[in-house]
Amino acid sequence: MKYEWLDAYCLSKIGAEKDFKEEWQATRYMLGGKMFALRGGDKEGKQIITLKLEPPHGQFLRQQYKDIIAGYYMNKDHWNSLYLEGEVPDEVLKDMIDRSYHLIFKALPKKVQMDLNQQHKN
């Protein structure tokens, strides 16, 4: 895999957890029970990661990079899939992960956000 740092980067996020969803044959990265990243394969077995983005930003990235497509098996407006053997720079993928994580973080109840921030400080 091209992005060897991917797993460690996702898990470095405050409160991030991962599990393997057997029926999807995919690894999920979760925050507060909500998924911010999904790593698996497409129907041909090509490795992808799917991330949530604000729709305008996702559309922009899909226009800029042929290896970023509308979310594979996900809501095509909010989710975007990136082929892991493609040519997207590391910084772009890291920014996509950060944005996805923050969208999920902002959707969590305020108490959960405060608890996660407190964990980060300790």
Domain map of the chain by residue range? 6-121
Task: For the chain, give the mean pLDDT.
Answer: 93
- 6-121 belongs to which CATH class? alpha beta
For the chain, percent of residues with pLDDT exceeding 90: 80
Q: What is the pLDDT of residue 122?
A: 60
b/e string for 6-29 if b means 16 or more Cβ within 10 A? beebbeebebbeeeeeeeeebbbb
Q: What is the pLDDT of residue 74?
A: 80
Q: Mean of the pLDDT values across residues 61-74? A: 92
Q: Mean of the pLDDT values across residues 114-120? A: 83
